[in-house]
């Protein structure tokens, strides 16, 4: 049922949504700018290459973020009419989108750590079982949260708004969800740091070569940036669970949730770059090897010409 009211007591709520929409514009602009900035690289390294499972994951994470930002803007921008059914559908997509993105990013992380550990089957099995347990538990928690949230359309002073009503205490399932995702990211970071330590030890022994020295550096650099943003996002989400923030329409809660939205958008920026960074590295290495091979063939060809003509220096 649509709530219609012209009472001035709703004005702080209207102002809160109005100010929060600015943060949505900033996060959406950041996503669009990054997409435009890296589209040329994406075209060469993703769309024009042979399609693999990683290609599907890249496209899923990249464009899931864009879709999520558009839906967020539709829910908060005044003047956009939203029926209860449409609001529920959009909320359902918004609720499950970060979870689906987390699953895809988890698979990408497994693939990267699997490469760092030189395709160790033990690491692959350990990470696969761990991610499956975390994903299953988080999926159940999302279902519980979804079943205890109702969405209602409201027209306040002629402005369309969308309200979410939480039935019961959802603090525990929300907290467990973000703690589990944080545990997974910390585990992945620890395994990556272990590889770095092993890498430096190998470099101290000149007699032992490390065939993937540069790729290890590329992998760990991009993963550190990604983990830093994840850590900020997890802390912000856990902080937002306090009623003083989640149930308040103060300017402080507005800024806090705005920063939270921008941090969430960065996951959809850095996630695809986990794939682009390593593909870009191998593309540059192939180009260097190709140039070296061309130079060597040129030298050999010139030597053959000198030998056939009897020339010398």
Q: pLDDT tens digits for 137-160? A: 999 999 988 888 777 777 767 676
227 falls within a domain: yes
Q: How do residues 87-119 score in pLDDT, each as one tens digit?
A: 777 778 878 888 999 999 999 999 989 988 888
Torsion of CA 173, 176, 177, 181, to 10 degrees: 180
Q: Point out the least confidently predicted range of 68-77, 129-138, 185-194.
A: 68-77
- pLDDT at res. 130: 96
303 falls within a domain: no
Note whether 286 and 120 are within 8 A (CB).
Answer: no
The full DSSP string for 269-310 is: HHHHHHHHHHHHHHHHHHHHHHHHHHHHHHHHHHHHHHHHHT
190 falls within a domain: yes
301 falls within a domain: no
**Is residue 153 helix, strand or coil?**
strand
Q: Helix, strand, coil shares of the chain as percentages rounded to 5?
A: 80, 5, 15
In whole numbers, what is the pLDDT of the chain averaged over residues?
A: 79
Asked if pLDDT for residue 301 goes beyond 60, the answer is no
Residue 212 banded pLDDT, cuts 50, 70, 90: very low
Give the residue with greater pLDDT, 266 vs 17.
266
- Encode 65-87: b = buried (16+ Cβ within 10 Å), e = exposed: beebbebbeebbbeeeebeeebb
12 falls within a domain: yes
Terminal CA-CA length for the chain: 94
**What is the residue range of 102's domain?**
3-285
- pLDDT at res. 313: 36
Q: How do residues 179-211 score in pLDDT, each as one tens digit?
A: 999 899 899 989 988 887 887 777 666 554 544
Token readout for 299 is 């030298």
CATH of the domain at 76: 1.20.1070.10
- pLDDT at res. 200: 73
| pTM of the complete model beyond 0.95 | no
Domains of the chain: total = 1
Residue 127 banded pLDDT, cuts 50, 70, 90: very high
- pLDDT at res. 103: 93
Cα dist. 101→104, 187, 283, 290 in Å?
5, 18, 26, 37
Asked if pLDDT for residue 295 goes beyond 60, the answer is no
Asked if pLDDT for residue 45 goes beyond 80, the answer is yes
Give the residue with greater pLDDT, 79 vs 266.
266
Tell me the CB-side half-sphere exposure of residue 201, using CA atoms within 13 A.
6
311 falls within a domain: no
Most confident of 1-15, 105-119, 215-229: 105-119
Residue 284 banded pLDDT, cuts 50, 70, 90: confident
- pLDDT at res. 290: 62
309 falls within a domain: no
Give the residue with greater pLDDT, 263 vs 134.
134
Most confident of 23-32, 47-56, 200-209, 251-260: 47-56
Note whether 61 and 272 are within 8 A (CB).
Answer: yes
310 falls within a domain: no
Most confident of 35-39, 218-222, 247-251: 35-39
């Amino acid at each position: 049922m649509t709530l219609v009211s012209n009472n001035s007591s709703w004005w702080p709520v209207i102002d809160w949504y109005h100010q929060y929409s600015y943060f949505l514009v900033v996060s959406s602009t950041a996503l669009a700018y990054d997409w435009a900035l890296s589209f040329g690289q994406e075209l060469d390294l993703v769309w024009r290459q042979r399609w693999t499972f990683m290609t599907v994951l890249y496209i899923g994470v990249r464009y899931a973020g864009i879709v999520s930002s558009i839906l967020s803007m539709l829910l908060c921008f005044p003047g956009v009419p939203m029926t209860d059914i449409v609001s529920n559908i959009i909320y359902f997509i918004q609720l499950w989108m970060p979870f689906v993105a987390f699953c895809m990013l988890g698979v990408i992380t497994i693939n990267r750590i699997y490469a760092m550990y030189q395709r160790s089957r033990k690491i692959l099995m350990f990470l696969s079982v761990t991610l499956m347990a975390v994903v299953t538990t988080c999926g159940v928690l999302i279902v519980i949260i979804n079943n205890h949230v109702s969405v209602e359309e409201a027209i306040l002073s002629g402005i369309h708004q969308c309200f979410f009503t939480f039935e019961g205490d959802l603090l525990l399932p929300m907290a467990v969800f973000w703690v589990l995702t944080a545990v997974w990211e910390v585990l992945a970071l620890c395994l990556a740091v272990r590889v770095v330590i092993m890498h430096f030890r190998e470099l101290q022994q000149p007699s032992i070569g490390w065939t993937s020295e540069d790729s290890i550096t590329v992998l760990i650099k991009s993963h550190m940036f990604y983990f830093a943003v994840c850590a900020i996002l997890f802390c912000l989400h856990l902080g937002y669970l306090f009623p003083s923030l989640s149930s308040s329409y103060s300017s402080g809660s507005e800024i806090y949730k705005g920063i939270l939205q921008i941090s969430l958008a960065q996951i959809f920026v850095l996630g695809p770059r986990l794939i682009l960074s390593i593909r870009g590295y191998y593309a540059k290495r192939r180009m260097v090897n190709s140039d070296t091979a061309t130079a060597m063939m040129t030298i050999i060809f010139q030597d053959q010409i000198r030998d056939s003509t009897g020339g010398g220096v």
